[in-house]
Structure 1
Amino acid sequence: MLGRAAFGEPRGLPGRLGGLLMSWLNRSVERHAVLLADPAPRDTVLVIGFGPGVGLLAAAEAAWRGHVVGVDPSRIMVRTALARCAERVRSGQMRLHLGTAAELGEADDSVDIAISVNNVHLWPDRRAGFTEVRRVLRPHGRLVLSAHRGVLGNVLDEIPDELTACGFTSVEVDIDDRGVGGSVEIIGTRAG
């Protein structure tokens, strides 16, 4: 079993293998999350826990005249995504760095859309993460959380109330049973 070293805190050989699996297994979920987020061409999109970078490229394609910022706590995922997204980074459209949901390293009101795929359940303190995401979102900015249904487990019922408590409005939950295991999308909007 690959476990935490592959997916929770990717490092070493298990992290590299986990990154390969994530690239393959998360591709459709990542693209769907970007579709739901619906960035405008000039938006700034923040991708939290970007893993091997598949979702970063999808966000960069959608916000093709905007800017994409990626934050991930794993050095191996940052290196992997930098290789995958090298052209976008060189062009200045994309910036990637180490960080967590609770410590994004971005300015107040600097992001139009934040996206997190298959990792919100791994955040050590979700409320601190949601508060930090709210801080960096511009008024009326959106947070899109997406995950394979089985990944969220018991925390699914807690997340909408946590988002509301942290200043998000219009929190919507969509459970899709199509595909292997289905998926869950939770969208919250920062109040104006």
Structure 2
Amino acid sequence: MGSAAQRLLMKGFGVPSGLLGRLGGRLMAHGNAAAERRVVSLAAPSEEEVVLVVGPGPGVGLVAAARCSAHVIGVDPSYVMLAAARRRCASAIDGGRLRLALGTAADTGEPDASVDVVISVNNVQLWPDLPGAFAELHRVLRPGGRLFLSAHEKWLPTALPALAHTVRAAGFTDVRTWTWEPPGRAPSKAAQLGAVRV
């Protein structure tokens, strides 16, 4: 893929910006919705657990998480996506159930051992430093905390077993992987991963 095409993809989906970013956000809100809701359901956060959503994009997963937990944090590197999430999640923000911040998987800005659940959907393929990102997520999770990832299988940065190996190398245990067919015709098969922080 040429550098011009890569720049367009990054503006639309990587770190969305400008008109392409807003269009990309609309596509993400529709195309990722089923996976976002499924991952929140798998994570099953309680009302009192702190949930960190990495790369929430336009905020569909944030809405689902804030229905379960009164302590949701969304970190995204895109100002355009943070603005879209603020609009979509206004009632959760106003109710004190959700906080948004600029950040990435490798630099969440959250304190050590401060969250119970980390969720990320269709985002891991954009992380330039997978070992660094998983080390950061291990750092912010409390002992016993849970990590749940989902990504279009065709977009994974590496094969699912290799991704699981990287997660284990960061200190996670009980690492499980599986694939899931979203409902409907448009979404592609999802590769999903769950793990526990020791």
TM-score range, shorter chain: over 0.9
Query: Is the 8 Å Cα contact of residues 121 and 155 (structure 1) preserved in structure 2?
Result: no
CA-based RMSD: 1.4
Equivalent-residue separation in structure 2 for 1:13 and 1:142 (angstroms): 35
The 2-side partners of 1:178 and 1:119 are apart by: 17
The alignment partner of 2:36 has SS state of: helix
Task: State the Cα distance separating 1:175 from its structure 2 match.
Answer: 1.1
Opposite residue 19 of structure 2, the aligned amino acid is L
Q: Aligned letter for 1:137?
A: L
Deviation at 1:93, TM superposition (A): 1.0
User: Distance between the aligned counterparts of 2:196 and 2:36, measured in 1?
Assistant: 19
Q: Report matched runs for 1:36-115 at 5 Å.
A: 36-63=42-69, 66-115=70-119
- Does residue 185 (structure 1) correspond to residue 189 (structure 2)? The answer is no
Q: Percent identity?
A: 48
User: Partner of 2:24 in structure 1?
Assistant: 18
2:160·2:177 contact (CA, 8 Å) conserved in 1?
A: no
Residue of structure 1 equivalent to 2:130? 126
Query: SS where residue 113 of structure 2 aligns?
Result: coil
TM-score, normalised with respect to structure 2: 0.91
Partner secondary structure for residue 154 of structure 1: coil
| Segments of 4+ moved more than 6 angstroms | none
In structure 1, give the amino acid aligned to 2:156.
Answer: L
Cα shift at 1:101? 0.7
Alpha-carbon contact 2:146-2:196 (below 8 Å) kept: yes
Taking a change above 3 Å as real, the CA distance of residues 153 and 132 of structure 1, as seen in their structure-2 partners, is closer
Shift in Å at residue 178 of structure 1?
Answer: 5.3
Between 1:110-119 and 1:156-165, the stretch displaced more is 156-165
Deviation at 1:153, TM superposition (A): 5.5
The answer for the alignment partner of 1:140 in structure 2 is: 144
1:142 aligned counterpart, secondary structure: strand
Which residues of structure 1 form unaligned runs of 5+? none
Structure 2 CA distance for aligned equivalents of residues 52 and 17 of structure 1: 11
Deviations 1:73-118 (A, max 9, x none): 0010011101111111122111001011111111111100000000
Code of the residue aligned with 1:54 in structure 2: it is V
CA distance in 2, matches of 1:58, 1:151: 24
Paired with 1:178 and 1:10, the residues of 2 have a C-alpha distance of: 24
Tell me which amino acid in the other structure corresponds to 2:20: P
Could you tell me which runs of 5 or more consecutive residues in structure 2 were left unpaired when the two chains were aligned: none
Calculate the TM-score normalised by the size of structure 1: 0.94
Corresponding residue number in structure 2 for 1:3: 9
